[in-house]
Structure 1
Amino acid sequence: MNLITVALFTFFSSNVVVARGFPGFFDSEFRKTLPCFKPDVEPSTAPSGAPSETPTQSPVVPAETLIIYATGDVPYSAVEAVGLMGQMQAVPSDAELVLHVGDIRRSTTTPCLASEYEAVQGILNQSTAPLLVIVGDNEWNDCTNTDEAYSFFHQYFAQFEKQWSSLEALVVRDPVYPEVFSLVQEGILVLGLNLVGGRVHNSTEWQNRLTYQANQVQERILDYWAETGDAAKVIVTGHADPRTRHAGFFTPFQNFVANTLNNRVPILYLNGDSHVYKYEPTFLNQSSLLRVMVRGGTVEAPIRIQVNLEVNTTDPSVAFTVLRNAYVW
């Protein structure tokens, strides 16, 4: 057991349960290919002569897919902390981005502590692929020390892309809400928003934040769509399972998809919050909207989202291929 694991067990001591049966987290098989000692039937072709002055460029094969893995609502205990670390260390090599859709701790009536954020940051840093975190209610508005918790999230996760140089150059942070981000990767627009469940701590702030993000999202998607046309595909990520109190964002967003985009851009809304898996086509009664909610925890592996880059479609179920429980850790 390494020092990070020891620290996590100490930190989560109030939630510790006996961890049973985690063999084979990091088991793998290695095969060796023996050289062939049988000579070729035909002799080798003679060398071509003097080398070229300029080296030949390797052909650039355009990517056909973008692979994203998503998890959320984890870790809530010491056992889940260990399981999440195993999942992060075993993220498949095809992953180009990992998204944690919020709730990095169990909701309690006690203050949120900086040590909790630091511990989870240490786990998520184990990811073998670049990773970003969306804010959830358990680490912000459901904390008894709301303002302090918000600053903790910014300190440990609002610039998380700096952990990976390949991601840092792509991510644009919002000037008003630094936890909100956008990036374009392989031509796909990914938006990470502050859409939380839980307690409405200030109704005016809540409504202003939703309205601001609704306007920003519409502007960002329109700019992106103008550049990409029929190839456009968008992933919108928030923590909340939408409810009436989220109408300040989702009502104008629904109208935007229907009346401005005319359902011509496939959009995936990815979230956590309710701890059940959902795959919901025609989300908000819009043909171009698909909603996927991760189950959360470590009961199953993060979901795999394959964005089909070379398919021009308005159907999000064609644009995004979703595989549940996608790997073993």
Structure 2
Amino acid sequence: MSFSSFSTHPEDEKTLAENAQSSPSIPPPSPPEPPSPNPPPPPPQLLNVPDLPSNQPDNDNAMDYPPGSPSGPLDGQSLILMGDDNTISSINTDYHTLQMRAQDIENHNDGYREPEHPTGSPQKSQQYQSRSPNPEMARLPQTVDMKTTSQNKEQPKQQRQQQDDEGSCLPQWLVDAPFWLKLVIVTSTALLLGAMVLIGVAASLEVQSRENEAQNNAAVSPPSLAPGNFFPTQPDLEPTNIPLTAEPTSSPLEDMPPWQPYNTSTSVQFFVAGGRFAGDELANLPAELSNLPNIDGNTVLFHLGDWNSPSLTRCEESAYSDIATLFANSSLPVYFVVGDNEFNDCPDPREAFEFWDQYLLDFETRHWPAPSVWNIARSEDYPENFGYLHRNVLVLGINLVGGVVHDNREWERRHAANLEWINTNYFENEARFDTMVVLAHADPEILANESFFLSFFRLVRDVYTEKQVVFIHRNLGSDAWGLETGYDGIPNLMVAVVEGTVWPPMLVTIDTTAGILEIDQRQWYQEYKTGGLA
């Protein structure tokens, strides 16, 4: 915005010339005194001018008298009042108030438009008060006196513009700071922004890596969820026609006490143990094993692994032969499920697994007669995976361990084989069972087996919707035994935890006719020792 200087009307110039001729002569001025370094500006003066002609047109555009000015015809003096925004003075000259100048310097590109008033013309004294619709957020001009304004007019335009730019963007302490401090601030800010970018990139890569891992894990799941993808030598799990109440014909099952706490015609009972026994429990274990009750003539015992200690036995062959001798005292057939302490965490995993295969594979048929009411099915490629069908309950055991991942590809192949074993037996026997039990060593919270559990839980949730699924595993550390229904938000999934290294083992009872699933790792043993249930 440009500011116009004072200019007089031609008629006013003529009148001034006539007054000058009739006035006495003026003596020559005295020599001026040397100017001071910062001379104070002269006080504003009123100009004496003759009255304007009275025949000026009277219209709506005529100048309003500022508030507080004398009314009537103009008195020939130019009045410059604070708060007046009219640009025409009484002598037809342009003027701007100080506040207008300050506002125009600060907002010369704002394109200000006067606010509308509801009725009539706004009063002149209220116009600057309404410039900012939101005073708290608007940037108001600073108070400037006449002296500061005069000095700013004398400064070069480029220097004033630089001061305005600095004052409008940066705090004063930063403007006045030394160069080295500004450099430190800029460098620190750049490093901070760079670190934030790197963190964001790392987080994005981590999310992408997890998504890719989930996709890769899905690739190792069974190729088809429909029946028909069976192992070539998959045995028939159809039960034989032998009566369900048939009694075994060999010792030691014949000498067991006749304890029948459950309805043996419709329920399935089995025991589950885990971990390594030591101290008094190890010394008493042969006698405890020999006294396990055979509830319906077909009760069995499962061991979920970790009976070995790699740091103590170094996974030598004697460790496997000793455990085989110990559990041969059991009154019930024993099915061993592979644990990580038996091969994966050993100094030589390959050799350790060969020992496990030599002494514990098919252990349930080495010291006891073959089951009379079901056929044992085993995987061709992973024979440690087994399964059988009994009274509407499908029981499956798989090789799922924790510990160190020595070979990612081997783990993926084994996980895929476990999923295929479960899925194959599910569809092959879908019409002959109501509940499926999966026995494994590893806890679902072990991240190394995430690929297996993601696919397994998806199958249970989306495919096995018509069946009740029970996953039983050995506990982690000092976790107590227990049962969680609706695991991971899946209504038809139950997860049971077996407490290892303690006696007695867990008793699992499933009655699909009555719709009952019960686990107990304490009360049943006390009642059994005292003669039965009350």
Which interval holds the TM-score relative to the shorter structure? 0.7 to 0.9
Report matched runs for 1:150-169 at 5 Å.
Answer: 150-163=353-366, 164-167=368-371
Map of 1:67 onto structure 2: 269
| Distance of aligned partners of 1:187 and 1:207 in 2 relative to their CA distance in 1, 3 Å threshold | same
TM-score, normalised via structure 1 length:
0.73
**Is the contact between residue 379 and residue 421 of structure 2 (CA under 8 Å) also seen in structure 1?**
no
| Distance of aligned partners of 1:278 and 1:323 in 2 relative to their CA distance in 1, 3 Å threshold | closer
Map of 1:94 onto structure 2: 295
2:476 aligned to which of 260, 267, 274: 274
Which residue type is aligned with residue 274 of structure 2?
G
In structure 2, what is the Cα distance between the partners aligned to 1:273 and 1:105? 15
Map of 2:429 onto structure 1: 224
Work out which of the two has the higher radius of gyration on C-alpha atoms and give 1 or 2. Answer: 2
| Distance of aligned partners of 1:154 and 1:187 in 2 relative to their CA distance in 1, 3 Å threshold | same
| Distance of aligned partners of 1:301 and 1:110 in 2 relative to their CA distance in 1, 3 Å threshold | closer
In structure 2, what is the Cα distance between the partners aligned to 1:85 and 1:136? 21
Offset of residue 166 of structure 1: 3.1
RCO higher in 1 or 2 (8 Å CA, sep ≥ 6)?
1
TM-score, normalised via structure 2 length:
0.46
SS in structure 2 of the partner of residue 126 of structure 1: coil
Which residue type is aligned with residue 101 of structure 1?
L
Offset of residue 246 of structure 1: 0.8
| Distance of aligned partners of 1:62 and 1:238 in 2 relative to their CA distance in 1, 3 Å threshold | closer
Report matched runs for 1:89-238 at 5 Å.
Answer: 89-94=290-295, 96-108=299-311, 111-163=314-366, 164-167=368-371, 170-228=375-433, 232-238=434-440
**Is the contact between residue 472 and residue 496 of structure 2 (CA under 8 Å) also seen in structure 1?**
yes
Residues 204-255 of structure 1 deviation map (CA, whole Å, 9 limit, x = unaligned) = 1011110221122112112222334xxx111100000122211221111111
How many residues align structurally? 258
Name the one with the larger strand percent: 1
Offset of residue 285 of structure 1: 2.0
**Is the contact between residue 154 and residue 178 of structure 1 (CA under 8 Å) also seen in structure 2?**
no
In structure 1, what is the Cα distance between the partners aligned to 2:281 and 2:362? 24
Matched, 1:310 2:513: yes
In structure 2, what is the Cα distance between the partners aligned to 1:144 and 1:84? 28
Which residue type is aligned with residue 306 of structure 1?
T
Offset of residue 74 of structure 1: 2.2
Q: Percent identity?
A: 25
**Is the contact between residue 74 and residue 296 of structure 1 (CA under 8 Å) also seen in structure 2?**
yes
Structure 1 unaligned spans of 5+ = 1-29, 31-60, 312-317
**Is the contact between residue 392 and residue 432 of structure 2 (CA under 8 Å) also seen in structure 1?**
no
Map of 1:48 onto structure 2: none
In structure 2, what is the Cα distance between the partners aligned to 1:68 and 1:147? 31
Matched, 1:286 2:484: no
Q: Cα RMSD (Å) of the superposition?
A: 2.2
Map of 1:82 onto structure 2: 283
Which residue type is aligned with residue 128 of structure 1?
S
In structure 1, what is the Cα distance between the partners aligned to 2:427 and 2:475? 28
Which residue type is aligned with residue 284 of structure 1?
D
Deviates more, 1:285-294 or 1:101-110: 101-110
| Distance of aligned partners of 1:107 and 1:291 in 2 relative to their CA distance in 1, 3 Å threshold | farther
In structure 2, what is the Cα distance between the partners aligned to 1:220 and 1:98? 21
In structure 1, what is the Cα distance between the partners aligned to 2:506 and 2:295? 13
Which residue type is aligned with residue 196 of structure 1?
V
Map of 1:314 onto structure 2: none
Which residue type is aligned with residue 321 of structure 1?
E
